[in-house]
Structure 1
Amino acid sequence: MKIRMGMVGGGEGAFIGAVHRMAAALDGEIELVCGAFSSNAERARRSGSALHLAADRVYTDYKSMMKAEAALPATQRMQFVAIVTPNHLHFPVAEAALRGGFHVMSDKPATFNLDQALKLRAIVSETGLRYGLSHAYTGYPLVKEARLRVAAGDLGAIRKVVVEYPQGWLADRQEDADNKQAAWRLDPTQAGISSCMGDIGVHAANLAEYISGHYISAICADLSALVEGRNLDDDGSILLKFENGAKGVLMASQVSVGEENALKIRVYGEKGGLEWSQQEPNTLWLKWPDRPTEMLRTGADYLSSLAAVNTRTPSGHPEGYLEAFANIYMAFIGQIRAAENGTALDERSADCPSIKEAVRGMSFIENAVAASASNMKWHKLPNY
């Protein structure tokens, strides 16, 4: 049976809602059955109609949706909700869903602030329900391969991590050009205390921890609003210390003119290094001091079983952003099925961003902002 999904947010004019829907639908394992797509009632109804949902399963607010869905027979109601609203609504929607008995898949960052993230962790623990977070870049097959190669000791002890995420779409004042996506990301009442670090820097930090296998333990940050008149950062550079003693550099920018979505990571150990780029995701480079650089390719027989199970097409056929996003969804619904059937998680389902990454992400964002505003060089990043 398909897993039944609801959605809050993601109506007309939204970007990430459509991405979530396409990713969730890709493998034919999830069915969108209901939604509260907008705080504007008419826009919500139009959005639901465009998605061919029954009128009585299209709601005008998330509270009504949780109540009405919970009242339906267990075989009809949604089993989980995808939260794709601006940041300020992530926590109240997630809390309402969990209290109503529904699993949650949330867009990142998980909450508006760290205090909410810690409260959310307590609610997840209390309810025993599944919580997933859409750190989609960890869904790429070769990112998973990189993580496993590092964990196996192929590179030796990790010494250095360099991760960068430059974009150029906010190099001018898009928030004044009727750009909905820019407007809410640069509005402190909706985005929180950070734009650049909250939107993309947190992805870079998550990827650094995921591949290296080590938590970031301290940061030295310099965040800026380089476009005049902005209240939130649109650029930042951060020095990193990792729990194992490794050092790192993180750069994130939304004002790097000409850049699209150029997330890239390099990890260096005692014996070798690796490099992966989101804009060329089918290639992973392994670098050695005593032999030629190796090029690993998605879909090849020499990759791990985890990379293989997250690959859908034969070698040479690109596996891209939607497929990586879909891998997060497949891992998440694997957790739902395991929870409902009382079975153990398989390798794929066990590898899904969770409430742990949610808390760490909010801790990174808040500490990056605090560190940038401080004259103290290093700020410890608590391990929650």
Structure 2
Amino acid sequence: MAKIRLGILGGGADSLIGILHRVAANMFDQFEITGGVFDVKHEKSLQFGEKLQLDKSRVYKDLDHLIITEKQLPEDKRIEAVSILTPNFLHFPMAKKLLENGFNVICEKPLTTTYEEAKILNELQQRSNVIFAVTYTYTGYPMIRQMKTMIANGDIGKIQKVDVQYYQGWINPLIHDKEKRSATWRLDPEKSGISCCIGDIGTHAFNMAEFVTGMKVENILADLNYLYEDNPMDIDGTVLLRFQDNIKGVLRASQIATGEENNFTVQIYGDKGGLKWEQENPNYLYLLKEDQPLQVIKPGHGFLSEFSLEGIKLPPGHPEGIFDSMGNIYYGVAMAIRDKSKFDGAYPKLNDGLRGMNFIEKTVSSHKKGNVWIEMKD
């Protein structure tokens, strides 16, 4: 079967996210990177395209040229899906144009910079016949998918407590220097949206809480931290969560957790047991029971769920990581493009990005109104 022709917007030069997406796209031999716009400067984009050994004519000056030129090509030659790896403020205009012109889309999170923009994309996608994925990367980990399956199967009983934490310390060298914190795009509302910490990593935790539990957050109460009066963007925060049946949860996110690298942990507790997972040790899922020893579940074994095993590429004992997780999402997108009735749940959909934007705005609103409870309505 011919590979799906993939275009990429952004992600050139030394972009970490670019490497992650390119490796993931190639992992299951489902995609072929065909062209794109890798940099705002065309010369740099061409240089990067040459490095990827792409046809020079498929490395475009901008998105408009990509769309016009590709649509003139025969259907079996043109780009079929486009990955958006640009700064946040470009997600909406790029995704909108791609949807309007019939391209499948894979978009980095957050989906847009406002909830209203996200709703526009949602309406466009519902009227189209294309696939739209939002790369909440961590949902692709086999042990996260095993966790989701075990919770759905009732292995830990009725959920009583949801605890998600995402701690980083990367912004410490910038936030305490007035010049530096004014210069980074992450702290510029025009480029990043109304939130830095919650918008960047808090949405991962929010999406994960809903993904593994199968429940929707119904109400939130937020307390955010900005540190300096001239800093318009949160860089730390705690959000109380209420799910259905008044099930309680807490979401903690920080970019000033000194010394932390990428400490994303998920802990779900039921009346019969608990499950714990740590992103920095992603091949271990811990099952806790009051009357049994701690159990450690690892990927690749035949007794695991089909959903977990779909994303396994190596025998047990061979560690899989962030590239594999993103690769599993790309594989889910590929299967959906080939047959839209299959692989539901194997990749985060546009609606997940829509809920993420709603969460960001409700969180900021809760904080600014004096740390009050706000209903999460779509």
Q: How many Å apart are 1:175 and its aligned residue?
A: 10
Distance (whole Å) between structure 2 residues aligned to residue 161 and residue 135 of structure 1 = 19
CA contact (8 A) 1:184 1:190 kept: yes
Q: What pairs with 1:87-106 in structure 2 (closer than 5 Å)?
A: 87-106=88-107
TM-score normalised by length of structure 2: 0.96
* 1:265 corresponding residue in structure 2: 266
Structure 1 residues 101-120: aligned runs within 5 Å: 101-120=102-121
Question: What is aligned with 1:230?
Answer: 231
Report runs of 4+ in structure 1 exceeding 4 Å deviation: 174-180
Whichever residue aligns with residue 222 of structure 2, its letter is A
Asked if 2 retains the 8 angstrom alpha-carbon contact of 1:214 and 1:244, the reply is no
Which residue matches 2:240? Answer: 239
What is the CA distance between 1:226 and its match in structure 2? 2.6
Alignment partner, residue 371 of structure 1: 366
Contact 2:134-2:352 at 8 Å conserved across structures? yes
**5+ unaligned residues in a row in structure 1: which ranges?**
none
Could you tell me which residue of structure 2 aligns to residue 125 of structure 1?
A: 126
Over 3 Å counting, the alpha-carbon distance change for 1:64 and 1:130 in structure 2 is: same
Q: CA deviation at 1:351?
A: 2.2
Match of residue 347, structure 2, among 319, 343, 352:
352
Paired with 1:331 and 1:178, the residues of 2 have a C-alpha distance of: 43
Q: Which runs of 5+ in 2 are unaligned?
A: none
The answer to whether the Cα contact below 8 Å between 1:223 and 1:235 also exists between their aligned partners in 2 is: yes
**Other-structure match for 1:43:** 44
Task: Give the aligned CA root-mean-square deviation in angstroms.
Answer: 1.8
Q: What secondary structure sits across from 1:233 in the alignment?
A: coil
SS of the aligned residue for 1:173 comes to: helix
Distance apart, 1:45 and its partner CA: 1.7
- Equivalent residues of 1:160, 1:248 under 8 A apart: yes
Corresponding residue for residue 336 of structure 2 = 335
Is the aligned partner of 1:290 residue 2:285? Answer: no
Q: How does 1:61-210 map to 2 (within 5 A)?
A: 61-173=62-174, 183-210=184-211
For residues 110-158 of structure 1, give each alpha carbon's deviation from its aligned partner in whole angstroms, at most 9, with x where no partner exists. 1111000000000001112110010110000010010011111111111
Residues 17-41 of structure 1 show CA distances to partners (whole Å, capped at 9, x for unaligned) of: 2211111112222100010112222
Instruction: Kindly provide the CA deviation profile for residues 314-371 of structure 1, in whole angstroms up to 9, marking residues without a partner as x.
Output: 11110100000000000001000014xxxx31xx454211011011000001111111
Alignment size in residue pairs: 376
Measure, in 2, the Cα distance between the counterparts of 1:306 and 1:184: 38
Tell whether the 8 Å contact from 2:223 to 2:371 is kept in structure 1 after alignment.
no
* Aligned residues of 1:175 and 1:183 also touching (Cα < 8 A): no
Q: TM-score, normalised on structure 1?
A: 0.94
Work out whether residues 217 and 244 of structure 2, in 8 Å CA contact, stay in contact via their aligned partners in 1.
Answer: yes
| Cα distance in 2, alignment partners of residues 121 and 128 from structure 1 | 12
Query: Against the structure 1 CA distance between its residues 3 and 225, is the aligned structure 2 distance closer, same or farther, given a 3 Å change threshold?
Result: same
CA contact (8 A) 1:145 1:303 kept: yes
Please give the per-residue CA displacement for 1:247-266, whole angstroms capped at 9, x wherever unaligned. 01111001111101010011
Aligned AA for 1:356? N
Map 1:6-25; keep pairs closer than 5 Å. Answer: 6-25=7-26
**Separation in structure 2 between the aligned mates of residue 350 and residue 375 of structure 1, nearest angstrom:** 37
Tell me if structure 1 keeps the 8 A contact 2:222–2:371.
no
